[in-house]
Structures are given as structure tokens and as C-alpha cells.
Chain A
Amino acid sequence: MFRRIEPAAADIRFSYEGREIVAQPGDSVATALLLAGETSLRTTPISGSARAPYCMMGVCFECLMEIDGVGNRQACLTPVKAGMQVQRQRGARELL
């Protein structure tokens, strides 16, 4: 669905739901996952319906994910790092 408009530079590898994703320096987690063909990154707290990144600039909060064990993180504002552990956010973040 999406393709890069610039040639690839060095690879950054991280884990999404146990699957290895290859990203580029400067990618956000949301960008990298959209490029990898992943379009449903979370389910909503009330109805449990699927959601995808929308605004890609930090205002719509549709791209919330669990990143390195912390829930409700905005994937569009989080730069990829090598070895990152990313999970879908299922419903609301669990705190207790």
C-alpha cells in the first residue's frame, strides 16, 4: 500500500508481535509498520474495533501501541530503535 520515496539507507531491525520488521533511520514506528503492510495497530477500549494510524503528526491518538512494555504510546511520534519490542495495543492500557 505504501512505498518509500527515497532510497533505503542503513537497516534498523525491531520486533512487532514477535515478527522482525526492517526499518530505516528516521522512521517512526507507525511509518515502519505501515510500510511493512500492517494497518491495524490497536483495538479501541470500548467497542474493541480495529484502528490504524491516521494523522501521523501526534494529534489524533489513533496509533497508540505498547512499545517496550509501556502502553498508550503514540507510534507516529516514536522513532524506531534497534531491538525495540512493539506490540498491538489491545483495548485500554493496563496500569495496575
Chain B
Amino acid sequence: MAYDVIVIGGGLVGGAIAWGAAAKGASVALIDQGDIAFRAARGNFGLVWVQSKGAGMPAYAHWTRASAELWPELADTLAGATGVDAALRQRGGLAFCLTDAELEERASLLTRMHNESGDIGTRIVDRDEIRAMVPGIGDRVVGASFCPIDGEAHPLHLLRALHSGLLRLGGDYLPGRTVDAIDAAPNSFTVRIGAERFIAEKLVIAAGLGSRELAPLVGLRMPVTPLRGQIIVTERLRPFLDYTCHTLRQTVEGLVMMGDSQEDAGFDTSVGVPVLRTMAERNTAVFPALKEASIVRVWAALRVMSPDGFPIYEQSERYPGAFAATCHSGVTLAGAHALALAPAIVAGELPEHFAAFSARRFDVPTH
């Protein structure tokens, strides 16, 4: 089978690029593994989060902001085409601080990002203001940072909408397939899976943690490693939160999710009580009433992390037509992946400012 674009990796990154390419009129195949895949997309917390993204890399801060701005168009288009609502809500985001030291550190991060990347309205709210904004805040909260353009979405609905949207645009979703080999030549790629052959002029490696092995086959480098995150989910509760919080959000169905743990645990996706306890303690310090809520689920999943935590987007120099795409913010960046990155890939060239996202940055000696 021959296509304009083959995307390897059917998660949120690959799904958004595949759908975006199909929306530009390209014939697209989305090759996905089976349920044995690590699937960061299915463990995602669901933030569309801007305020703290890109300190030290203004290109990433701007890319994140662009994605947050493109998200409404993505959500509306997908809902119109597929009937699946990704439940986007951009009501502003809060990151709570429990000590004066935390608040000072947060304030200096905001100042730094403001200076590096410009003003997006992020500000520190003090003890009194936060209590006026959010009912039920605990005594230990000394303040928070607030960003008016932060928000959240439903990761599983988004993933389903992208896959469904791709099919409706005539694309092929090909699950249950692990790539055996790629025959690469400039603007000509043959993906071999068992006896199957898939041919395309353009190839996108968006296979999450699997990208590390696949990228060198087409002259790219994607040195990503796993970073485990655990999530706690409570029973459904009457909506009590008008904002998205960095470590806590209430879904449209009323579930309260707590997250944002980070552990280097290799490829181990098991949950552990010590980390879950720390997460519960912090979030019940912010909202003491949550101590009465029952926990109904916990899970762990693996983030896909580059050495500096920033995304990698790059076209292969050796095999033009092959592109790398990876990040740990598959929900936040979905708008940009679908509506900005995918059209650039279809056009065959990444914009000049994408040079900042090249894996070559890992070769530069630090001073």
C-alpha cells in the first residue's frame, strides 16, 4: 500500500499529526502497536497547560501558547466531524504553593518566563485572593500562580476523536503492528511489518518510547527515556472547582484526578503507596474536604522524556521526508501538532524556528 504520509505511533502525538495531515488532503496511514504498547496517551492527566512550559526555551513556550490558542479550533473541528467531544475547558489554571519558599520559587519562575518569552497574564495570587477565587482551600495554602489561558481536556476522548476523524477523512488506522524494518531513501520509505509493505514519500516517527529504536533507521535521533507518573481518581463528586489545578482537576463527569508525580522507574508501570500517599497528602492539604472522598482507581504510566524535557521535531538530513516528533505533553500540544506541525510535514518543510527543537541541541557542549 502506498500513501503520502505514514505515521508510526497511534498515540496522541501520532494521532494528531495523522489527522492533521489527512485534513490537509494527504493520504495517511497510522501504524500503531497493540495493547502491549506503553501508551502514554492512555495514562495522560489531561492538562492543556501553558504557564510553566518552556522556561529556558522560549521556542517551546511560544509553541505551547500557540497550541493552547489552536485547541478550540481542533476541538470544534473534531466534534463536528466525529461527534466526539474532547471536553476542552480553558478556564484558567492554578498551581498552589504550600510554603513561602515554594511561592517565592514560583514567582521567580514566572518572572523568568515573562522576561524570556513575554507576558501571557500569568501572575501570583496571594493567600486572601486565592480564598476569594476558590472555595474550600486549606489553611496551609499560602498562594498560587494563576494563568488565564491554562485548561484541560479529556485525553481518551481526544485520542478517540483523532482516530475516528482520521478514518472519516479516508485515512487508514493500522493497529496491532510492530515495525520490523524501514527501507529508507530520500522521500521514499518502505515500512516492513511481517509480510506487509507500506510505502510513503513522508514518514513520521511519533512512537513515544519506541521512537528511540526507530529513529536511527531513518537518520534521526530521539533519545527519549521513560518518566513514571501516577494518578489517583476519586468517586464522582458535585463540581466544586472552577479552575484547572496543576496537580488536581475535576473532570466534566465529576471525577477528581490527582497527579504530577515524577519517578525514574525504568519501564516499570506499577503503582506504589508511598508516592500515592504523598500526592494525596498534598492535594488534601489544598482541599481538606477531599479527605472524605473515596478513591476508586489509581494507575501509573510512562511519560516520554527527552534529555532536557523539551520536544524534538526534526526532518532527517540524510533521508529528507522523514520526521521526528516527540514530547511529554500530548494533550497540551495536540492543537499545534494537528494544525501547525502536520501541515508543515505535508508541505515537506518545518519552519525555520523549529531548529530549536532539533536533537542536535543535545550535542552542544554546555559551558
Judge: A and B partners, yes or no: yes
Taking a contact as CB atoms under 8 Å apart, the answer to whether B136 and A96 are in contact is yes
Taking a contact as CB atoms under 8 Å apart, the answer to whether B238 and A95 are in contact is yes
- Name the distance in Å between A44's Cβ and chain B's nearest Cβ: 9
Question: Count of A-B contacts with CB under 8 A?
Answer: 34
Q: Is A6 an interface residue (CB 8 A)?
A: no
Q: Which of A9-17, A20-28, A29-37, A86-94 contacts B (4 or more CB under 8 A)?
A: A86-94
User: Which of chain B's residues 165-218 have a Cβ closer than 8 Å to chain A?
Assistant: none
Taking a contact as CB atoms under 8 Å apart, the answer to whether B236 and A92 are in contact is yes
User: Which of chain B's residues 126-146 have a Cβ closer than 8 Å to chain A?
Assistant: 135-136
Known contacts A45-B253, A45-B254, A46-B253: A95-B293 contact under CB 8 Å: yes
A93 vs B239: C-alpha distance when bound (angstroms): 9
Known contacts A45-B253, A72-B294: A95-B289 contact under CB 8 Å: yes
Task: Tell me which of A45, A70, A92, A96 has the highest count of chain B C-beta atoms within 10 A of its own C-beta.
Answer: A96
- Name the distance in Å between B245's Cβ and chain A's nearest Cβ: 14
Q: Is B235 an interface residue (CB 8 A)?
A: yes
A45 vs B238: C-alpha distance when bound (angstroms): 8
User: Which of chain B's residues 262-294 have a Cβ closer than 8 Å to chain A?
Assistant: 287, 289-290, 292-294
Taking a contact as CB atoms under 8 Å apart, the answer to whether A72 and B253 are in contact is no
- Name the distance in Å between B256's Cβ and chain A's nearest Cβ: 9
A45 vs B292: C-alpha distance when bound (angstroms): 18
- Name the distance in Å between B6's Cβ and chain A's nearest Cβ: 39
Q: Is B237 an interface residue (CB 8 A)?
A: yes
By a CB distance below 8 angstroms, the chain A residues around B135 are: 96
**Could you list 26 A-B pairs, sorted by A, with CB under 8 Å?**
A45-B236, A45-B238, A45-B253, A46-B253, A70-B292, A72-B236, A72-B294, A91-B238, A92-B237, A92-B238, A92-B239, A92-B254, A93-B236, A93-B237, A93-B238, A94-B237, A95-B238, A95-B240, A95-B289, A95-B290, A95-B292, A95-B293, A96-B135, A96-B136, A96-B238, A96-B289
- By a beta-carbon cutoff of 8 Å, the part of chain B in contact with chain A is 135-136, 235-240, 253-254, 287, 289-290, 292-294
